[in-house]
Amino acid sequence: MSASSVSGKEFLESAIKQFEEAADILKLDEGLREFLKIPKRTLIVSIPVKMDDGSIRTFMGVRVQHSSARGPYKGGIRYHPSVTVEEVTALAMLMTWKTAVVDLPYGGAKGGVRCNPKEMSNSELERLTRRYTAMISSIIGPLTDIPAPDVYTDAQTMAWIMDTYSQLKGEPTPAVVTGKPVSLGGSEGRAEATSYGVAVCVRESAKKFDIPLKNAKIVIQGYGNVGSYAAEILHDWGARIIAVSDSKGGILLKDGLNPYKVMEHKKKTGSVVNFADAKNLTNEELLEIECDFLIPAALEGQIHKGNANNIKAKVIVEGANGPTTPEADRILEEKKVKVIPDILANAGGVTVSYLEWVQNLQMFRWTKEEVLKKLEDKIVKAFNDVLNHVEKYRIPFRKAAMVLAVERVADAINSRGIWP
């Protein structure tokens, strides 16, 4: 995962700017704009943790709840050294739009803890997670705010949160988080959900822009959960994965990489770098490779005004949250590069989170095939809904997705009214 090239403050400014552009197109009421720019609640907590050596370290944690106009708050929790309140606020706002684009009955939230999980033991991470959960337990809940995994958190993290919350409430509460292990009420298909949504968006874009998917050249930045599964799915559908990267660097093989073998290599060596027969390259070089589809699946701000002119992809499908800055968007638009935005392209994760939550509340379970079919139907419908707005307003995909999302949230607020 690449380090972000934008600060949390810049990321928040860019999220607000995108919202403002959509609000302008919709001629949104000034009071409603102000209401939607400021999150409903921000909780900042200090998390003391006893480390394995007996010392005590205190970490900063945050949970931002942006909007609940369309339903309970929904959004992941990330563990990363660069977590800031501004970054988490921007991500919470993006979650509001993302859940609205795919028409889920949710609002948007996000959480984060500023720490370096790579330097912490499993038991230290467990103590951190349980303490953080206890400190935000008053504002989360199965019908209030439902966290999920994000950067450097996973099913194990969610199991600790669910168990801690259940202990505090005195009853099993599996629906308080999604992205849990299947044995604790997690959904089949959750592991590859975000990637599957990305792959469906690539497939639908290929149809729309007349790019044959068979042998289409795909470049993926970020070979974590999202990037690696997307590579495998698209490879299985006949596309050619020509380059991938992780935080240590990238690899290029024009004849096409076998993503399954690349993952085996990464598990053995800790990186995709030095894969047999492939040429090593930097993350920066990787973004500028000529290809049909570029999938940025690392951190935000990777495509910016400094490198956007060098992008040679026909279509960018955003696997990460906020990987393209507004300045880069304008340059890409001039270059006629199509961008399928994060709030549509990577909404597969939150869609299957929703399906997991529904299963938990109803106490039943669908098969993996059923889950992925429901996910595919949701993403295809959302893609076409956004496409209709592209054609209706004659605007690029990102603006169209934002207009659709803001329109849905504004409709909900107007219907509910401001009480009292």
Catalytic residues: 110
Q: Please give the C-alpha separations between residue 3 and each of 83, 235, 267, 300, in angstroms, as whole numbers.
A: 12, 27, 21, 8
User: Which of 402, 413, 287 minimizes the C-alpha distance to 341?
Assistant: 402
What phi and psi values does residue 386 have, to the nearest 5 degrees? -65, -45
Distance CA 316, CA 353 (A): 25
| Other residues' Cβ atoms within 10 Å of the Cβ of residue 81 | 12
In this structure, is the dihedral angle defined by the CA atoms of residues 49, 51, 56 and 59, taken in order, positive or negative?
negative
- DSSP code of 224? S
Q: Return the structure tokens found at 269.
A: 């060596």
In contact, 217 and 286? CB cutoff 8 Å: no
In this structure, is the dihedral angle defined by the CA atoms of residues 390, 298, 70 and 23, taken in order, positive or negative?
negative
In contact, 144 and 73? CB cutoff 8 Å: yes
- Cα distance from N-terminal residue to C-terminal residue, the chain: 46
* Beta strands in 177-312, from DSSP E residues, in sequence order: 217-221, 240-246, 249-252, 279-281, 291-296
For residues 241-276, one letter each, b for 16 or more C-beta atoms within 10 angstroms of the residue's C-beta and e for the rest, the string is: bbbbbbbbbbbbbeeebebeebbebbeeeebbbebe
Q: Mention every residue, 6+ apart, whose C-beta is less than 8 A from residue 186.
A: 155, 158, 178, 179, 180, 356
User: Which of 306, 305, 353, 351 minimizes the C-alpha distance to 329?
Assistant: 305
**Length of the chain counted residue by residue:** 420
For residue 291, which amino acid is it? C
